[in-house]
Amino acid sequence: MKEQLLKKNTTKTAFSNLKKAPVVQPNSMKPLGIVGGGQLARMLALKAHELGIKVAVLSENAFDPAAQVTSLWTQGALGNRADLRKFLSICSLVTFESEFLDAHLLESLSRETSVPVLPRPSDMALIQDRLTQKEILLKHRLPTARFHSVATEDEARWAFDDLGGRAVFKKRRFGYDGYGTFIVRSAQDLKKFLPELTKNSHGFIAEEFVPFKRELAVMVVRSLRGQTVRLPFVESYQENARCLWVKGPLRKSAKLTALGQKLEKFLSAISYCGTMGVELFDTGSKLIVNELAPRVHNSGHYSLDALSDDQFSLHIKAVLGQDLVTPRVLSPGFAMMNLLGSTTEPATWLLPSEIKLHWYGKEENRPGRKMGHINVLAATPEKALALVKNRRSCFRV
C-alpha cells in the first residue's frame, strides 16, 4: 500500500513537472553556450555547473575568466561569422554576457543552425542602441529622462539649449562603465565635448541631466514560458560613472512596487527571455529608468549570497524554460562591493572573515578593471555597507 502510494505520488509529480516545463537531460544535451569570456560569463558558467547543466564558452583567450571554468571552451572571435557558427552548432542553446555583439549576425546564424539565442538578438539590437532603447522605454510608458538624438555639432548645441544648459551625452553604441557618457554642465564643457562627435560614427543621445538623490537597480527575469519574477530593489553607488557598491534590500513602497510591476509587464510585452538589469534614478519624488541591460548585471551580484536564488541561476532557468520562483531574501541587510583595480601590480589579499569573495581570475590587474567583488550580509543594509567597506581594506588590487 505504502509502495503503491509512493509510486502514485512520484508518477504524479514527475508527470506534472513534465507538463509544466521541458526536462533537462544534462548528459544527453548539447551544452548551453555562452558567448563571451568575462566575469558575467564566468559566474553564469559556475552556476550552470551547480545546476548540472553542461556549459560551453566562446572567447578569444584560454585565460579569460569564463574560459578557466569550463572544459568546453572554444577559441574564437565574437564578431566572426565562422567562429560563431561553429560555436552555435555544438550548443543546444546560446546566451551571452554582453549586448555589444552583432545582433543581426547572431539572428541569421540562429536561424541557419536552428539553435536558439536567448535573450533574442532582436531584443539585444533594440537595447544595444541607446536611441532605440529610449524609444522602447517611451513606447511602453516607462519613465525616462527627456532626450534628443544628436549627430552633428548644431544638433548638440540645440539639444544642450533645449535640455536647459546641462545635458548628459551618451554614445548610442558601445558605452559601458561610463566610457561613452559625457556630463556637460556648461557651455565650456560643451565646447570640450564637441570633438567627440566626429570620433564616433554611431552618434549620441543627449539626455536631460537628472538631479537624482540616489541610484537604484532591479533585476527582472522572464522565462521562455512567460513567467516573470523580480529581485529586490537595491541602491547602487557609482564612482566615476562606474558601480562601486550596492546595498539592499530597499524598504518596500507603493512606488517601487508599481514600477516593478510595470517592468515585468514590459518584459512580457516584448516577450523577453532571460534576466534584465534595470538601472534607475530616484529623485526623491520620481523614479526614472536610466538604462536597461539585456543580461545579468553588476548590480545583481549581491544575489549570489543574499537571495535563495541568484540572477545567474535564474537567467539559466529562464532560457531553459524551467520554473522560476521569486527568491527569498536571506538577510535583512546585504551589500556588494566591486574590487576595482587601482594599480598594475599583481593583486594580493588577506583572506577576510564575514564576507564572501567572488574573484574573476583575471590575469592582469589594471586601474579601474573589475577584478572581483565581495558580498556581505548584516542586520541592516547600512551595517552591511559599513562592513563591506571595512573589509575592502583586506584587498590590494
Grid cell 546641462 — which residue?
A: 166
Instruction: Give whichever of 92 and 290 is closer to Mg ion, judged by the CB atom.
Output: 290
Task: Give the footprint of Mg ion on residues 287-346 (CB under 5 A).
Answer: 291
- Identified binder of ligand ATP from the candidate list 33, 119, 121, 175, rule CB under 6 A: 175
Binding at 181: pick from ligand ATP, Mg ion, none (beta carbon under 5-8 Å per type): ligand ATP
- 129 near Mg ion (CB under 5 A): no
Residues in contact with ligand ATP, counted by CB under 6 A, come to a total of 21
Q: Which residues pair with 40 in a beta bridge?
A: none
Site for ligand ATP in 135-164 (CB under 6 A): 145
In the complex, what is the shortest distance from the CB of residue 260 to ligand ATP, in angstroms, rounded to a whole number? 20
Q: Is 282 in the site for ligand ATP (CB under 6 A)?
A: no
Q: What's the angle, vertex CA 286, arms to CA 285 and CA 287, rounded to 5?
A: 140
169: which strand partners? Answer: 182, 206
Measure Cα distances from 232 to 1, 196, 271, 387 in Å: 46, 38, 22, 21
3-state secondary structure string across 123-192: HHHHHHCHHHHHHHHHHCCCCECCEEEECCHHHHHHHHHHCCCCEEEEECCCCECCECEEEECCHHHHHH
**Cβ contact 347:395 at 8 Å:** yes
Using CB under 6 A as the binding rule, the residues of this chain from 223 to 242 that contact ligand ATP are 238, 241-242
Choose the stretch contacting Mg ion; rule: CB under 5 A; options: 93-101, 153-161, 278-286, 374-382: 278-286
Report which secondary-structure segment, H or E, holds 53: none
Q: Please report, for residues 295, 299, 384, the alpha-carbon distance to residue 69 in angstroms, rounded to integers and kept in the order given.
A: 20, 22, 30
Instruction: Report the alpha-carbon distance of residue 104 to residue 125 in Å, rounded.
Output: 8
Q: Cell 512580457 maps to which residue?
A: 268
Looking at residues 179 to 198 of the shown chain, list those that interact with ligand ATP (rule: CB under 6 A): 180-181
Identity of the residue, 195 or 211, whose beta carbon is nearer to Mg ion in the bound complex: 211
Q: Would you count residue 244 as binding ligand ATP (CB under 6 A)?
A: no
- Give me the count of residues in the chain: 397
Residue 122 Cβ vs ligand ATP, minimum distance, rounded to whole Å: 21
CB of 162 to ligand ATP, least distance (A): 14
Instruction: Please identify which residue in 74, 113, 290, 365 interacts with ligand ATP, judged by CB under 6 A.
Output: 290
Which residue from 177, 189, 196, 264 is in contact with ligand ATP, where contact means CB under 6 A? 177
235 sits near Mg ion (criterion: CB under 5 A): no
Sole residue written with cell 567597506? 389
Q: At its nearest, how many Å lie between ligand ATP and the CB of residue 146?
A: 9
210 binds ligand ATP (CB under 6 A): yes
Q: How far apart are CA 49 and CA 260, in angstroms?
A: 30
Three cell numbers, residue 43: 559566474
> Using CB under 6 A as the criterion, which residues of the chain lie in contact with ligand ATP when the complex forms?
145, 168, 170, 175-178, 180-181, 207-210, 215, 238, 241-243, 279, 290-291
